[in-house]
Amino acid sequence: MGGEAGEERIKIGLEIHCQLTNLRTKLFCGCPADYRGSPPNTHICPICMGLPGTLPSPNKRAIEDGVAVAIALNSEISRRMTFFRKNYFYPDLPKNFQISQYDGGGGVPLARGGYLDIEGGKRIRIRRIQIEEDPAKLVHEGTIGDSAATLVDNNRAGVALLEIVTEPDIEDPREARAFLEKLRGILECLGVSNGELEGAMRCDANISIGGGTRVEIKNISSFKEVERALAFEITRQRQLLARGIGVRRETRHWDEVRRITVSLRAKEEEEDYRYFPEPDIVPIEISEDFIESVRRRMPELPDQRKERYMREFGLQEHNAELISSNNALWRLFEECVKMGGDPIEVSNWLVGDLISFTRELGMELTDPRVSPRKIVELVNLIRSGAISTKIAKDVLMESLRGDESPEEIVRRRGLLKISDESLLRGIVEEVFRENEGAVKEALRDEDVVNFLIGQVMRKTRGKADPKLTYELVKRNLERIAHGEGPSA
Amino acid sequence: MGEITPEDLERLCWLSRLRLSQEEKEEFLGQLNKILDYFRRIEEVDVEHVPPTYHVVDLTNVLREDEVEEPRPDEVLELAPRRKGRYILAPRII
């Protein structure tokens, strides 16, 4: 994780913006927050458009959401927080300032500190969590070169965002992705943010190598892209360092299509946002009672669930971690267990073939064809010895493709394992007759024994009971070794 | 903190997107320095045991329930000086 000896240490810090998609309204006004698919500028009002004389008032549920996330990330919740104005001119801000929070100049964000442990037990510290409003969406007409104007859609302006900033504890792109996936699982589990919605979770990253200059990467639209953008940036910075060129302090933009980072602006000095307290919004006091009431309503969190799976069902840590941090997987797992599926067997199928097969088929885990009944039937078919594990894989794949359950497929295709000794003995003898040379070799060479078993499998199209086949082949070879005929 | 210099004023103008004439610059520079002097006098007061004030009204938790108020977007949209369809037009920014 820390890299090879002599390699410079990489430090990555993330800044995540997630929309509180469970809110019905924007952060400071009653406009509907669900802007996706709406015609431009239909969810706007004098407040979110910053008309003079209007008074923003914070959405109580946004504060509750923020407190829930802060609890889940082990952060220290401020007892009295304030909102600040962040001033800059850009067409995405109707007011020319963003109502945000500020950890400085007397400002107090929603929460400070905290941590999240990612797989492998590594702890990533949280610096702060704050609430702010989303800017508007800009549409550029025509090609970038000839667009004469920028089109502004303010439906998104004022939607509630949670900004989560980490300490630079992340040491490689994979860790960054692991952190983000885990965070997403928590946010979805709490029901505050749906990461499946486009643009609901966005991420900026700060990265430096060997204590060198820090570069900020913006415009990373998905968590998968974060890993790519960081990997590119590490290569770029290493090449510069190898050629004796210093890394410039700057903000770079991730170009998803070309998969490179592009310089956006040099950061010769800190941007001057002239933060000052938002005079229209009075401070918010968060009482112990308020925090407790939020805590009482919180669902089981992924880490708690993981520990319960290990304790209650004896799952391996790896399986427990994977299942508990994915909402579709843990729901499926619990359904399967409720239907009587063996928890350990079920967990192995879920994290193994089910994930890779659904990926291969381009299916979501929430697809109705991924039903708990199919998994439980499959596990039971193997447990009872009716089909082999190898055949089970085919059956699962076929079952996912359509509506047939594993039992139906096994019945229709006649895939039941051949465990009938007399039937299998006949097939073994056939193989021995057809492969006399191999039989002689097999007496000395164990590898050739496997060849003979393979031939039996081929003849039965994988249905032969592997254990019984092995015994029969071995028994036949022993008879030949003792000078007896193959069939006794 | 020293005087506000003409360079400070230039920067301030740039940050606020204000374009001032030479006369205005000279006039405002004097006024701004007067304001700064005024704050310097306030700073002389011993406030060591006074809690900071971030808000002038003594209220907290003026919050709103998460309930939709039907927006009347067209009335707001009409105020935009330049439009294209339902979009508001802003200067090209790339």
Phi, psi of A464 (to 5 degrees): -65, 135
* Chain B partners within 8 Å of A283 (Cβ): 54-55, 60
* C-alpha distances in Å from residue A240, one per residue of A10, A172, A388: 15, 18, 55
The confidence score (pLDDT) of residue A422 equals 78
Pairwise CA distance, residues B40 & B42, whole Å: 5
User: Residue A1 pLDDT more than 60?
Assistant: no
Tell me the nearest-neighbour CA distance from A82 into chain B, angstroms: 8
Distance from CA of A15 to the nearest CA of B (A): 24
* A409 contacts A395 by C-beta, under 8 angstroms: yes
Within a domain: A441 = yes
Shared domain for A47 and A150, answered yes or no, is yes
Print the domain residue range for B29: 1-47
Average pLDDT over residues A369-393: 88
Chain A residues within an 8 Å CB radius of B60: 80, 282-285
Sequence letter at residue A444: R
Which range, of A202-206, A299-303, A312-316, B12-16, averages the lowest pLDDT?
Answer: B12-16
Tell me what the pLDDT averaged over chain A comes to: 89
Yes or no: say if A147 and A140 are a contact pair by the CB < 8 Å rule: yes
Of A231, A265, A292, the residue that ends a domain is A292
Contact A67, A290 (CB under 8 A): yes
Amino acid at site A373: R
Mean pLDDT of B81-92: 90
Judging by beta carbons within 10 Å of its beta carbon (0-12, 13-18, 19+), is residue A342 exposed, middle or buried? middle
- The tokens for A432 are 């021995």
Are residues A32 and B71 in contact, defined by beta-carbon separation less than 8 angstroms?
Answer: yes
Please indicate whether, in this complex, the C-beta atoms of A31 and B65 are within 8 angstroms of each other. no
Is B34 inside a domain boundary?
A: yes
Q: Which residue has the tokens 């011993």?
A: B46
Is there a domain that residue A1 lies in?
A: no
- Rounded CA-CA distance A323/A346 in Å is 11
Instruction: Give me the total of CB pairs closer than 8 Å, taking one residue from chain A and one from chain B.
Output: 133
CA distances from A321 to A69, A114, A174, A194, A312 (A): 20, 20, 16, 20, 14
Return the DSSP state at A418: B
Q: What is the pLDDT of residue A445?
A: 87
> Among candidates A108, A160, A133, which has minimal Cα distance to A50?
A133
A residues 77..106 contacting B (CB < 8 A): 80, 82, 87, 89-91, 106
A487 belongs to a structural domain? no
- What is residue B64's predicted lDDT score, i.e. its pLDDT? 96
| Residue A478 region by backbone torsions, left for phi larger than 0, else alpha for psi between -120 and 50, else beta | alpha
A59 closest CB neighbour out of B54, B64, B72:
B64
In a domain, B74, yes or no: no
Q: State whether A73 and A102 are in the same domain.
A: yes
Distance of alpha carbon A278 from alpha carbon A299, whole angstroms: 34
Q: Per-residue pLDDT tens for A222-234?
A: 888 899 999 999 9
Range with lowest mean pLDDT among A62-66, A89-93, A237-241, A415-419: A415-419
Residues A323-341: what's their mean pLDDT? 92
Among A14, A17, A18, residue whose Cα is nearest residue A167? A14
Domain boundary among A292, A308, A333: A292
Is B8 contained in some domain?
A: yes
| Identity of the highest mean pLDDT range in A122-131, A256-265, A325-334, A398-407 | A122-131
Residue B43 C-alpha, separation from nearest chain A C-alpha, in angstroms: 16
Decide if pLDDT at A60 tops 50.
yes
Residue B63 near residue A58, CB atoms below 8 Å: yes
- The answer to whether A67 faces chain B, any CB pair under 8 Å, is no
Residues A149 and A255 in one domain: yes
Residue A488 forms part of a structural domain: no
Q: Which of B66, B79, B93 sits opposite A24 (nearest CB)?
A: B66
Distance of CA B43 to the CA centre of its chain: 22
* B12 lies in some domain: yes
- Report how far apart, in Å, the C-alpha atoms of A238 and of each of A10, A225, A438, B69 are: 11, 20, 57, 53
Q: Cα–Cα distance between A166 and A13 in angstroms, integer? A: 6
* Residue A309 sits in the same domain as residue A408: yes
Contacts of B92 in chain A (CB under 8 A): 140, 147-150
Within this chain, do residues A122 and A212 fall inside the same structural domain, yes or no? yes
- Does residue A206 sit in the same domain as residue A172? yes
What percent of chain B is helix, strand and coil (3-state, nearest 5)?
40, 10, 50
Give per-residue pLDDT as tens, B16-74: 889 999 999 999 999 999 999 999 999 999 999 988 887 888 889 999 999 999 888 99
Beta strand segments in chain B, E: 83-84, 87-91
β-bridge mates for residue A86, sequence order: A98
Percent of chain A with pLDDT over 90: 57
Shared domain for A396 and A254, answered yes or no, is no
Is the pLDDT at A2 greater than 50, yes or no?
Answer: no
pLDDT (0 to 100) of residue A266: 62
* Cα first-last separation, chain A: 61
Q: Which residues of B touch A138 (CB under 8 A)?
A: 90, 93
Q: Read off the pLDDT of each residue in A262-270 and give the average, rounded to a whole number.
A: 65
A484 versus B41: the higher-pLDDT residue is B41
Residues of A in contact with B52 (CB under 8 A): 106
- Residue A3 located in a structural domain: no
How much is the pLDDT for A487? Answer: 53
Q: How confident is the model at residue A5 (pLDDT cuts 50, 70, 90)?
A: very low
Q: Which of A255, A273, A292 is the last residue of a domain?
A: A292
CB contact under 8 A, B59 and A282: yes
pLDDT higher at A482 or B42: B42
Number of H helices and E strands in chain B, helices first, is 3, 2
d(C-alpha A44, C-alpha B87), whole Å: 12
Give ipTM to 2 decimals.
Answer: 0.86
Structure tokens given for A355: 């994930």
Look at residue A62 in the predicted model and tell me its pLDDT: 98
Question: What is the structure's pLDDT at A50?
Answer: 93
* Cβ-nearest to A150 among B59, B61, B91: B91
Clarify whether residues A199 and A81 are in a common domain.
yes
Where residue A144 falls among pLDDT bands split at 50, 70, 90?
Answer: low
Domain identity same for A54 and A28: yes
Same domain, A205 and A63: yes
Instruction: Give the distance from residue A358's alpha carbon to the nearest chain B alpha carbon, in angstroms.
Output: 38
> Looking at the partner chain, which of A44, A139, A284 has a beta carbon nearest the beta carbon of B61?
A284
Proportion of chain A above pLDDT 70, given as a percent: 95
CA distance A323 to A307: 11
Is the CB of B77 less than 8 angstroms away from the CB of A91?
Answer: no
Tell the residue number behind the tokens 């001119």, with chain if given: A89
**Nearest of B6, B45, B46, B48 to residue B28 by alpha carbon:** B6
Tokens of A193: 């943010």
Which of these, A155, A66, A160, lies nearest to A108 by C-alpha position? A66
Q: What domain count does chain B have?
A: 1
Residue, of A256 and A81, whose pLDDT is higher = A81
Which carries the bigger pLDDT value, residue A463 or residue A289?
Answer: A289
Evaluate if residue A297 carries a pLDDT over 90. Answer: yes
CA–CA dist A267, A248 (Å, integer): 8
In this structure, the answer to whether residues A84 and A206 fall within a common structural domain is: yes
Contact B91, A141 (CB under 8 A): no
Going by C-alpha positions, the residue among A359, A397, A415, A406 that lies closest to residue A378 is A406
- Phi–psi pair at A27, nearest 5 degrees: -70, -40
Q: How many CB atoms lie within 10 A of CB A364?
A: 11
Does residue B92 lie in a domain region? no
Domain extent, residue A161, equals 10-292
| Number of domains into which chain A is organized | 3
Q: A310-314, A467-471, A481-485, B57-61: which range is least confident on average?
A: A481-485
Q: Which residues contact A304 (CB under 8 A, 6 or more apart)?
A: none
Same domain, A338 and A459: no
Kindly report the nearest CA distance between residue B42 and chain A, in angstroms.
Answer: 18
Residue A388's nearest CA partner among A446, A472, A470 is A470
Q: Is residue B36 part of a domain?
A: yes
**Within an 8 Å CB–CB cutoff, is residue A49 touching chain B?**
yes
Radius of gyration of chain B (CA): 22
Q: Give the separation between CA A98 and CA A159, rounded to whole angstroms.
A: 11
Find the CATH number of the domain harbouring B37: 1.10.20
Give the model's pLDDT for residue A246.
85
Give a yes or no: residue A486 inside a domain.
no
As a whole number of angstroms, the distance between CA B18 and CA A326 comes to 51
CA distances (Å), origin A372, targets A1, A309, A358, A392, A400: 37, 17, 14, 15, 11
User: Please, which residues bridge with residue A166 across strands?
Assistant: A126
